[in-house]
Structure 1
Amino acid sequence: MSNFIQHLAQYYFNKYQTNISEFCFVFPGRRAGLFFQQHLSTLIKAPLWSPKTITIHEFIEELTPYQIADKVSLVFELYQVFEEIYQTGTGFDEFLPWGEIIINDFDDIDKYRANAGQVFSNLVSIKEIEADYSFLSEEQINTIKSFWYTFNPNKLSEHQTEFIKIWEKLYEVYQLLNERLSKKGMAYEGAVYRCIAEDIDNKKTLNIPYPKIVFVAFNALNTCEKKLFHHLAIANKADFIWDYTPWRLPATQSTTKGGSRMKEHEAVRFIQENLLNYPPPHDWHFPHNRDLPEITITSVATDTAQTQVVNQYLHNMPVHESKAQLDSALQTAVVLTDESMLLPVLHAIPGHLDMVNITMGYPLKNTPAYGLLELIFDLQKNGRRSKSGKSWFYFRNVLPILTHQYIEPLNPDLHKEIAYSMVKRNQIYIEVSDLKKSNLLQSIFRIVEKSDDFSAYLIDLLQQVFSGLQKNKQGKALEKEFIYQMHLTITQLSDLIAKLGAQVSPDTWIKLFKRAAELKSIPFSGEPLKGLQVMGILETRALDFENLVILNMNEGVFPQTGTTNSMIPYSLRKAFLLPTIEHQDAIFAYYFYRLIHRSKKVRLLYNSSAQGMRTGEMSRFLFQLKYEYPSDKLFFTTAVDKVNISKTKAFFVEKDETVMEILNQYLEGGTKQLSPSGLSTYFECPLRFYYKYILKAMEPDEISEDIDPRIFGNLFHETVEEIYKPFVGKEIKSTDIDLLSKNNQGIEKALRASFSKYFNQALGQSDFNDIQGKNILVFDIIKKYVLQFLRVEKQHAPFLLTGLEKKVKGNIKLSDKTICIGGTIDRLDHKDGSVRVIDYKTGGGDEYFKNVEELFLQNKHKTKKAIFQTLLYSHILKQNEYASSDYLPGVVWIKKIFTSSDYSLKIGTPASNTALSLQKVEKEYIEQLKQHLNDLFNPNIAFTQTDHTDSCRSCSYRSICGKQ
């Protein structure tokens, strides 16, 4: 392979020898300069001062007395200017995103030497355009006209009026900003470029201490750079070395498959002009790769599959141990067009490749340290202070902090205890005094009201976390680096705000911090001149590799789609020769084709699946290769994941001695009673019964701030129970129910008591009211249900209320054992000589059944559960209390309370049925029940999975038994 940087080093060393020490080599990025120096070191035989290697930005900084300000300082200055001119009263946090857009526009205007006054003119009159812009080409003038034609002064829309209102003063903003920055010795980068170009126009001498500057591998030059290059070329102080793809130039293009010649390509859009205006030295021979690379385009189904392909590709790469270390560094590169793929790719690198250099930084915003601070920001945002001075935090902000990977290990027992207590008590808002159980928690859980205190608050937290990680010996070097970089970012932002003397709100401080963190990446330490290179696309400029793997070659990722945010409309950008989307596309095309030009083997991967905003479409560059590249050098493959899908085996649990010991506790003389709901669980799925009642594998508790159907039913049930408590043992008449209905205060008191049980705080007695948000609506809804229930109850009055939440127990005798059955009846009353056994049900279910057998079938029992349970309660009561009475099972269907007043259950069909009583079905019911109880207590019958898979959808154990 003919290496561009190596060829460059050989050319200048052979031509200038020791004089090269005085030269300055300007590269697009630092990485290329490092490789250049290393190549140069292999050529010298005696000690030699290295020539200076810098980037174009560093070179420009050397030519100006101004300090190039950081983005935050610039936006602060712009905000003050903007408010002085527009007087909008907008807060800085609202202005921040707009400020960055305006600064970028000013930067483009200056770098491309557009006349800011003319760009920001309000040219509604076409005559003004023709008069003021006569120096522009006809095409540019027509483009400007096409934009302003839509602004009819007599028919301006609201948005057009607002646009012009801002637009007509932007030039004033531009001027005043530059004046203020200049007085402070500051400037944005574009202004520095503009000043250098103006100095050249004014024949001012540039302070350049080098006899020769060599500009290497540039592509898209802005107007100021062109001016500088032209000035240095005339003075014979600069060489220009271009790196490009020769087979994309019109003069050297090969024919396509069909025999026609390729059209001018966007990859060389800028290079052609550069070669013409700034030709390289006459004796420079461009290192052309005569053999085109072998390219394989691979479609993958997921991003994870891309990493698997990378792993296989690197496994098959030969290891060149005998090669020089610099050659090995240029052997293979993995190029990431999407920085989020960095960690997955690092995990995919085979273990035998111990020399890996990562030239791209890891985004600070993707670190656990940044994640912790985001949790802290949310904590502060949702924190509240009551009138009494108490501070409260929202549970959804507290729990993630207690369980964060940096916080939880520092005192695991304490943090788990606090989290468990919150869940157990269902605390939605937690008072600070309940959280301050250690110095660390005391530092975290306090409300910060002033932005000046934010820095100290966060730095104190990070220092404690850092010290804790060291003390517990759990802090890896990478984790400590994450925390250090976060600490550094906070300190820098705090110093900057103090320097500017600006007063910002906590929200603005957080936005500034997030913006600073988004722009920062953590450099990886390593030897850049050894082994496998993992790079971002920008780091590849001027470098060549024999073997390349490029990931995420998808349209929208590489190249990116859509223009950058700008206040300057596309038409005006195009008219004033400012960079547009076409400019961006040409730059991406140059990066791609230049990179693959001198390679031998190239593997291009793209994700073919459509997910979210991704279309799964491969990059336009891959389509270009498909139709224009020689077919004998281009291959298409699809990465196929090998997935073995085996049939899930039926899962069951045998009843061993331990299981039978637990079951025997339900027998006469034992310590437990088998409840009707437990039996329902067994009928629906024996294996679920095993998990829940034998293993006691309960679901983990969660804090519930919303009222799910279960809690809704409990609230209704307990409110009604509280209202009826004074009437137990008494006859309830219609007049009593009228009084209850009118007692609005009493109903609300009972309902609030129910809420307090499920939502922890004693409502109305705390200085922090728990009923809020959606629960306010639920409170009113339940109250309406209670009032409707009382109206229905009036239709059933009079009746004798004999029990609420009545606990009962009885026995079912089998041939060789007696089983204890017991549970709690929601309500028991007497009416017309019959005993009504009533259950309250929030969910759905059937109020009728065809025959008793249906009550025990797996595919039927769920909807017949209420009938089964009330019959069983009736049978138990008959054993213990009123043997001669007629028992009527009934259900209050809360969902139907507004449409039906009938509590009775029926046997038959919806069209033809009769009211259910225990006497009608008791014999057959008990016989069927005994058969199933015999199976339950039979040691030879295992606990098996249900065949009715609909029951698995809401089962908590489906992932354990393989029914997920």
Structure 2
Amino acid sequence: MTSFLEDVIVDLQNQALDISEITFILPSKRAGFFLKNHIAQRTTKTNFAPEILSIESFVETVADITYATNTELLFEFYEAYLSITEKDNIEPFEAFTKWAQLLLQDFNEIDRFLISPDSIFNYLGAIKEINHWSLNQEQTSYVKNYISFWKRLPILYSTFKNMLLEKRKGYQGLVYREAATNLEQYIATKPKVRYVFVGFNALNKAEEIIIQELLQQDLAKIYWDIDETFINNLQHDAGLFTRHYKNNWPYFKKQPFTWITKNYATPKTIEVIGVPKQVGQVKQIGALLNQLQESKKSLSNTAVILGNEHLLIPLLNSIPEQIDTVNVTMGLPLRSIPMAFLFESLFKIHKNAKPNIYYKDVTAILSNSYIKPLFSEGSKNYADALISHIQENNIAYLSLSTLNLFSPSHSELFTILFGSWNNTAQTAIHNCTQLILLIKEHLQKQATKSVIDMEYLYRFNVVFTELQNLNTTYPHINSINALFGLYKEIIANETLDFKGEPLQGLQIMGMLETRVLDFETIIISSVNEGILPAGKSINSFIPFDVKLEHGLPTYKEKDAVYTNHFYRLLQRAKRVYILYNTEPDVLKGGEKSRFISQLEIENIHDIKSVVIGPNVKATVSSLKQIEKTDAIMERLKTVASEGFSPSSLTNYIRNPIDFYYEKILGIKPFEELEETIAANTLGSVIHHSLETLYTPIKNQFLTKDYITSLKPLISSTVKEHFKNLFKDGDFSKGKNLIVFEIAKRYVFNFLEKELESINAGNTIKIIDLEASYSTDLNLPELGFPVRLNGTVDRVDEFNGVTRIIDYKSGKVIQGQIEIVNWEDILTDYTKYSKSFQVLSYAYMLHQQNPNCLPVEGGIISFKNLQGEYFLKFGKKESIRGRTKDQLINQDTLDAFFIQLKTLILELCNPNIPFVEKPL
């Protein structure tokens, strides 16, 4: 394949022109590297390299003014706005930036196309006045101010323009307008310079005038890169602009329009691949690159074009490992690198400054990989310790003083991170800069320095230095919100450039960077409507019809630009892979692009179309299985001698793996900070509250008077236990207040039920509360001691019958406390776990007091206190049969012990592994 740039060099050499004396003008800087390489390959003797400029750099030279940065333009524009706006109508800088960006784009378009600004603005002011007419004869002050603003646009434009020209700076359009005006003077100063314009397509009016003038004076040549398929087809947008220049430029009335090629119709392999979702396309690109690598095809003439440039990072992670040479022409936006999330988290805290900081915002900062090491002292990390302290003490909001008290040695760092920024930009910039220096000092102390982390730091230091300079020069950043807006603007436009050899290996680039360049193998992603082409987008105050009237580009022309980029890539390529997303996404493109449909309809090439689904491997869900090693058995013997609790045994019934994690490995479930009171905390509060209320009457009979005397104590008792269990958590408002009131209501309802039972003539004697029971189990088969222990919520005597009571804050029904077949108690956790617990408590009570039988055992469900609030354990003859016996006697315990023994023998059997149960 011979590239377009190579053809240009050959043609110039055939004309015997001295290339070293030519100034080449290209659409982009990137193309200059490739042009210089082709010149070197085609030159047989030593020469000076020619001057190679991008069109923007060339125009800047002609205009003799420099481009201002986008942030500089915003501040200068605000200065102009302040100078012409009455004091009472001035908007703050933060509000101004929201519409100023759009207006700057319109100024840019107007100047690039050399349109009279007064013509546009007067038209625009008249439209706004019509759109905002009022039924009232007299317009309101708001309507008058609104219309007045649009009528002042010509003055605002003129003031802004003059302010910039005085400083010899400008936005792109202003630089282009000045270049068109200054062209004759520029030519006069450099009459012998010869220019070659290479590979242009969509020119603005200023560029047209500059190039035409140089052509007319025989100071320039221009090489178009257009195929006859496009320029001869009047309906094809790829040739839209070139047809216009060919037909309307006076130069081509006398001079031939050369360089119409016939490359597009040459045989090509074109494959259109539909892939679900954006990341799916990236994975498919990795697969294609792997195929090309395995087929021994060189990737040095291969390019991956990202229609959606946000896919750069996923793509880099998907490139096959064997591809060792990759050149990334697009930079990595600063907003995408890890350090950006640190500063965004800081701004999040300080934008809406409050005395106390939400714990999640604090932990997000402390857990950041750049911040956490700063809190290390020896083997201890105070960031980890503070996070644990927050979780253990349920602290939802923290003050700076609280943080400083926790670790006084880090008070300076805490102040930088969490100290008030006082809603001033200077403090914010100072603190962020100080933080960067602290991170830098830490990284420099490391044995193995992270080069990339130091590069990140340097780039963010540059960002905050720029913000500092802007804040010093322009006194308009009067809030953290305004500063954050500027910060986002800068990091969105700044990139961290990849370093590499631009002419070697696989090329990864965006669509605009492909201008003038040719590759044998092309892979283009995200070829969907809304991405390629971008389609309708209204980023302008100027209406569509006004743009048409004045010759400004609309979305139609912008689509034609992308059409040319797309088809120009295909002209000389031999293998083309076009990927699109088969899953329409409102935010990231719709159905497959019209470019694909056009390729298929024009019937020039044989298009292979496939739709690829994700390569999902069939995975067999294998349950975890842990064999009982000698070490595990030793640990199991220790647990057995210390005692199995009923809850740990039912945990084994539910899922043996959970028992293994908790009892053998000692891994406890992770307990997050309890921002909203959890169900287990509610249950514990109720348990402890009832214990506190009933303890004074232990071993006594309940009386109506005593229960009545407890009611005024409910609120204070529940509150006390909430404070103990909920730590520093707040339950004075919101959901927590509701839970607090529910806890009080549960206790009150329970006392009412007790009172109702006593009024019915029943006698209740409290025997014990939160009583701990323990007993040795006679299991000679094991050869080591086994204990059973547990805590019973309440033991009382009801009408002379001992009752074992387990409190439940959740809902329990009678069917969950009854059994039919004893064997089922070891298999169905959901249905029989409560019966297992009650029977375990009864067994332990009987072992300590053999004369206690018969007893009753059951549940009191605070969420189900209607009817019989004490749900008794019962043995039924059949599922539909009536309960046979609700008294727990010796036969009941003997039958239960058989099942308990079976369970523990299985649990302690070294030949039976811990096998996970399916969910």
Same fold judged by TM-score > 0.5?
yes
Alignment of 1:597 onto 2:564: no
Counterpart contact for 1:847–1:867, Cα < 8 Å? no
Residue 114 of structure 1 deviates from its aligned partner by 4.0
**Cα gap change, 1:44 to 1:812, in 2 (>3 Å):** closer
1:192 aligns with 2:175: yes
**Tell me, what secondary structure is at the counterpart of 1:823?**
strand
Rounded to whole Å, the distance in 2 between the matches of 1:590 and 1:220 is 9
Assess, with a 3 A threshold, how the Cα gap between structure 1 residues 60 and 725 changes in structure 2: closer, same or farther. farther
Q: Structure 2: how far apart are the matches of 1:64 and 1:459?
A: 37
Give 2:898's aligned residue: 927
Aligned partners of 1:293 and 1:597 also within 8 Å: no
Distance 1:794 1:122 in 2: 85
2:756 is the counterpart of 1:795: yes
- Residue 690 and residue 603 in structure 1: after superposition, are their counterparts in 2 closer, same or farther (change >3 A)? same
Q: Which amino acid aligns with 1:406?
A: Y
Using the alignment, how far apart are the partners of 1:336 and 1:151 within structure 2?
43
Q: What is the deviation of 1:547?
A: 1.5
1:806 maps to which residue? 771
Q: For 1:268 and 1:789, how far apart are their aligned partners in 2?
A: 85
Cross-structure match for 1:35: 34
Q: 1:292 to 1:167 in 2, by over 3 A?
A: farther
Q: Provide the alpha-carbon RMSD of the alignment.
A: 3.7
Aligned to 1:324: none
Q: 1:572 to 1:912 in 2, by over 3 A?
A: farther
Residue in structure 1 matched with residue 161 of structure 2 by the alignment: 178
Quick one: distance in 1 between partners of 2:857 and 2:241?
87
CA shift, 1:495, in A, is: 0.9
Aligned to 1:98: 99
Structure 1, residues 240-279: CA drift from partner, whole Å, max 9, x if none?
3222343122x2x5xxxxxxxxx61122222211233346
1:842 aligns with 2:809: yes
Aligned partner (choices 784, 808, 830) of residue 862 of structure 1: 830
Contact 1:379/1:397 (<8 A) preserved: yes
Structure 2: distance between partners of 1:382 and 1:733? 56
TM-superposed deviation, 1:536: 1.7
Alpha carbons 1:652, 1:942 under 8 Å: kept: yes
Cα offset, 1:493, TM superposition: 1.8
Q: How does 1:333-482 map to 2 (within 5 A)?
A: 333-381=303-351, 384-385=354-355, 392-409=356-373, 411=376, 413-414=380-381, 415-430=383-398, 431-433=402-404, 434-438=406-410, 443-449=416-422, 450-482=424-456
> How far does residue 512 in structure 1 lie from its aligned partner after superposition?
1.1
**Counterpart in the other structure of 1:138:** none
Structure 2 gap ranges (5+) = none
Q: 1:726 to 1:57 in 2, by over 3 A?
A: farther
Q: Do the aligned partners of residues 266 and 436 (structure 1) sit closer, same or farther apart at CA in structure 2, a change above 3 Å counting? A: farther
Cα deviation digits, residues 746-767 of structure 1 (max 9, x gap): 61x4344334344433x7xxxx
C-alpha distance in 1, partners of 2:440/2:458?
8
1:661-716: per-residue Cα shift (whole Å, max 9, x none)?
Answer: 3333355xx3x111110111122223332232223233334323222322333334
| 2-structure distance, mates of 1:786, 1:90 | 58
- Maintained 8 Å contact 2:282/2:311: no
2:269 to 294, 314, 321: 294
The residue identity in structure 2 corresponding to 1:835 is T
Matched, 1:606 2:588: no
- Tell me which residue corresponds to 2:795: 828
Which moved further from structure 2: 636-645 or 910-919?
910-919
Q: 1:371 to 1:878 in 2, by over 3 A?
A: same
Summarize the Cα distance change of 1:905–1:184 in structure 2 as closer, same or farther, 3 Å threshold: farther
> Partners of 1:341 and 1:112 in 2: how far apart?
33
Whether 1:618 and 2:601 are equivalent positions in the alignment is no
Name the CA distance, whole Å, in 2 between partners of 1:369 and 1:660: 48
Separation in 2 of the partners of 1:196 and 1:498?
A: 32
Matched residue SS, 1:683: helix
Q: How far off its partner does 1:528 sit?
A: 1.4
CA contact (8 A) 1:713 1:842 kept: yes
Q: 1:305 aligns with which of 283, 289, 294?
A: 283
Distance 2:561 2:885 in 1: 82
Give me the whole-angstrom Cα distance separating, in 1, the residues matched to 2:228 and 2:143.
47
Structure 2 counterpart of 1:942: 913
TM-score (norm 2): 0.87
Query: What is the deviation of 1:315?
Result: 0.9
3-state DSSP class of the match of 2:774? strand
Matched residue, 1:710: 680
Structure 1, residues 309-349: CA drift from partner, whole Å, max 9, x if none? 243244145466xxxxxxx85x2222222223323333444
Query: C-alpha distance in 2, partners of 1:333/1:313?
Result: 15
- 1:517 is displaced (CA, Å) by 0.4
Q: Deviations over 1:446-468 (max 9, x none)?
A: 33333202222222222222332
Q: CA deviation at 1:162?
A: 9.9
Correspondent of 2:198 among 189, 204, 216: 216
Contact between 1:310 and 1:345, CA under 8 Å: does it hold in 2? no
Counterparts in 2 of 1:860 and 1:639: CA distance versus 1, 3 Å: same
Offset of residue 306 of structure 1:
2.1
1:123 CA drift (Å): 7.9
Instruction: Give the counterpart letter for 1:26 in structure 2.
Output: I
Q: Identify if the C-alpha distance between structure 1 residues 945 and 823 changes in structure 2 by more than 3 Å, giving closer, same or farther.
A: same
Displacement of 1:14 in angstroms is 3.9
Aligned-pair CA distance for 1:658 = 3.2
What TM-score results when the alignment is normalised by the length of structure 1? 0.83
Compute the displacement of 1:541 (Å).
0.4
Which whole-Å CA distance do the structure 1 matches of 2:614 and 2:135 have between them?
Answer: 64
Amino acid at match of 1:297: V
Which stretch shifts more, 427-436 or 578-587? 427-436
Give the match for residue 224 of structure 2.
Answer: 242
Q: Determine helix, strand or coil for the equivalent of 1:904.
A: strand
Report the CA distance between 1:779 and its aligned residue. Answer: 3.3
Letter aligned with residue 652 of structure 1: Q
| CA-CA distance at 1:607 after TM superposition | 3.4
Q: Is the 8 A contact 1:310 1:348 kept in 2?
A: no
Distance 1:612 1:583, change over 3 A: closer
> Which range moved further: 283-292 or 69-78?
283-292
Q: Give the match for residue 478 of structure 2.
A: 504
Q: How does 1:720-735 map to 2 (within 5 A)?
A: 720-735=690-705
Q: 1:914 to 1:396 in 2, by over 3 A?
A: farther
1:132-211 alignment runs, 5 A limit: 154=135, 167-197=150-180, 209=190, 211=193
Cα contact 1:721–1:804 (8 A) shared by 2: yes
Counterpart amino acid of 1:305? K
Q: Is the 8 A contact 2:477 2:483 kept in 1?
A: no
Q: CA deviation at 1:727?
A: 4.3
* Structure 2 residue identity aligned to 1:566: S
Aligned partners of 1:212, 1:462: CA distance in 2, in Å?
49
- Distance in 1 (alpha carbons) for counterparts of 2:690 and 2:584: 53
Q: Please tell me whether the aligned partners of residues 823 and 899 of structure 2 are also in contact (alpha carbons under 8 angstroms).
A: no
Query: Which range moves more in the overlay, 524-533 or 44-53?
Result: 44-53
Deviation at 1:545, TM superposition (A): 1.0
Amino acid at match of 2:274: S
Q: What is the CA distance between 1:165 and its match in structure 2?
A: 7.1
Residues 823 and 357 (structure 1), Cα distance of their counterparts in 2 relative to 1, 3 Å cut: same
The question of whether the paired residues in 1 share the 8 Å contact of 2:825 and 2:836 is answered with: no
Is residue 315 of structure 1 aligned with residue 299 of structure 2? no
**1:888 matched to 2:856:** yes
Distance 1:575 1:901 in 2: 85
How far apart in 2 are the matches of 1:643 and 1:232? 60
1:521 Cα offset (Å): 0.8
Q: Please state if 1:17 is matched with 2:17.
A: yes
Secondary structure at 1:593's aligned position in 2?
helix
Does structure 2 conserve the Cα–Cα contact (< 8 Å) formed by 1:845 and 1:863? no
Deviation of residue 649 (structure 1)? 4.3
Instruction: State the shift of 1:207 in Å.
Output: 6.6
How far apart in 2 are the matches of 1:242 and 1:557?
26
Tell me the CA shift for residue 494 of structure 1.
1.3
